[in-house]
Structure 1
């Protein structure tokens, strides 16, 4: 990482920490029985992630949950699949240099009080850090990784680090755990 990128990351991390101190979230564990609203954050770094996250979101909607899905595209423009869907896609142009959202919809995603927030990415992009660490969700679920201190339930996937496996394992543990 370059010297300037290190400075940028440090400044952004300080900005995130200061915002967390000013607006601490209230943690409350939820399982699939107690959750009513669910947020999903994923990346499109793997081409399959989009279709898997879309299907998972649709399955949750059919079961009666209120679901909002956000997908990050590591580009400056939305590809064709990012237009006219129920998924809110954002690109690098939709966030400031420190990861803070420019779009109102993305800013609302951070402040929305989800019962469960599924974080289906291990990316260390500043926008992902911003959205996951400052999210007002009661319970955050994601993959066990180096940068997962903001998660409330960490899923160890072992060697099978696919999105489909992460979803399957998350649902398995959320069904087992009683509130």
Structure 2
């Protein structure tokens, strides 16, 4: 990591902490029985992630949950699949250098008090960090990675770090845990 990138990341971290102090979230554990609203955050670094996250979102909606999904595209323009979807896609142009959202849909997603937020990515992109850490979600679920203290339920995927496995393991634990 370059010297300037390191400074940029440190400044972004300070911005995130400042935002967390301004808008502290109310932590509350939810399982699949107690949750009513669910947020899904994922990346499209692998092409299949979009399809898997879309199906996961649709499955949850069919079960009666209120679902909102957001996908990060590592580009400056939306590809064809990013237009006219129920999923909100955002690009690098839709966030500030610190990862802070500048489009209304992404700001709304971050401020929404979901019962559960599924973070279906291990990406270290500054926008993923910003959205995850400043989200108002009551309970955040994601993969066990370095610096994941912002998650409330961390899933150790072992050697199978696919998005399908993360979804499967998350649902397994959330259905077993009693509130």
Q: TM-score, normalised by structure 2?
A: 0.99
SS of structure 2 residue aligned to 1:68: strand
- C-alpha separation between the residues in 1 aligned to 2:157 and 2:10? 29
- C-alpha separation between the residues in 2 aligned to 1:134 and 1:165? 25
Structure 1 unaligned runs (5+)? Answer: none
SS of structure 2 residue aligned to 1:96: coil
1:153 aligns with 2:153: yes
- C-alpha separation between the residues in 2 aligned to 1:40 and 1:133? 14
1:165 aligns with 2:178: no
SS of structure 1 residue aligned to 2:133: helix
Q: What pairs with 1:1-179 in structure 2 (closer than 5 Å)?
A: 1-179=1-179
- Following superposition, the deviation at residue 124 of structure 1 comes to 0.9
Displaced runs of 4 or more, over 3 A: none
- C-alpha separation between the residues in 2 aligned to 1:127 and 1:153? 20
- Following superposition, the deviation at residue 142 of structure 1 comes to 0.3
- Following superposition, the deviation at residue 155 of structure 1 comes to 0.4
Q: Deviations over 1:22-78 (max 9, x none)?
A: 211110000000000000000001111000000000000100100000000001011
How many residues align? The count is 179
SS of structure 2 residue aligned to 1:140: strand
- C-alpha separation between the residues in 1 aligned to 2:149 and 2:44? 23
- C-alpha separation between the residues in 1 aligned to 2:50 and 2:114? 21
- Following superposition, the deviation at residue 149 of structure 1 comes to 0.8
- Following superposition, the deviation at residue 147 of structure 1 comes to 2.3
